[in-house]
Structure 1
Amino acid sequence: MANTPQAKKRARQNETRFTVNKARRSRIRTYLRKVEEAIASGDQTAAAAALKDAQPELMRGVTKGVVHKNTASRKISRLSARVKALG
């Protein structure tokens, strides 16, 4: 357990960051799931729209430090290729 005031404060900050980052990760996963479902349904216009909504959300995760930049780029690239293949 934290003893010094600084360590106690860091523990509080870590807990807050954890909950915020958890919410951000969940939000990103929701957007990605919507794209996956649209691809599975075979509707290219819906999949493209879902991907267009998901891209800024993923990149926001990058700027907030929740997702690595290359990971986000890879996910966007693979999803866009799958959406393009539907057409």
Structure 2
Amino acid sequence: MANTSSAKKATRKIARRTAVNTARRSRVRTFLRKVEEAIASGDHGAAQAAFKAAEPEMMRAASKGVFHKNTASRKISRLSARVKAVGTAATATA
């Protein structure tokens, strides 16, 4: 247990920051899940819309330090390629 007043304050700050970061991480995961579901359904329009909503959310989390910048960029890049592939698969079968 913290003894000094500064250590007690640091503990409170850490707890508050952890709660905020957990909420941000959960929010990003929800957006990413929506993109995954749209890709799985094969609906290019829905996947594109979900991706456009998820991309700024992911970069916002990266800028806040929830995710590393390169991790966010990598995930966005891979998701973008998968969304694009859904579009080409839909046009190839049509």
The normalised TM-score by structure 2 is 0.91
Match of 1:60 in 2: 60
- What are structure 1's unaligned runs of at least 5 residues? none
Q: After the TM superposition, list the runs of 4 or more consecutive aligned residues in structure 1 that deviate by more than 3 angstroms.
A: none
Aligned-pair Cα RMSD in Å: 0.4
The alignment status of 1:39 with 2:39, answered yes or no, reads yes
Q: CA deviation at 1:24?
A: 0.3
The higher radius of gyration belongs to 2
The normalised TM-score by structure 1 is 0.98
The Cα offsets for residues 18-56 of structure 1, whole Å up to 9 and x where unpaired, read as 000000000000000000000000001100100000000
- What are structure 2's unaligned runs of at least 5 residues? 88-94
Taking only the aligned residue pairs, the percentage that are identical comes to 71
Distance 1:71 1:13 in 2: 26
Q: Report the residue type matching 2:55 in the other structure.
A: Q
Distance 1:66 1:86 in 2: 29
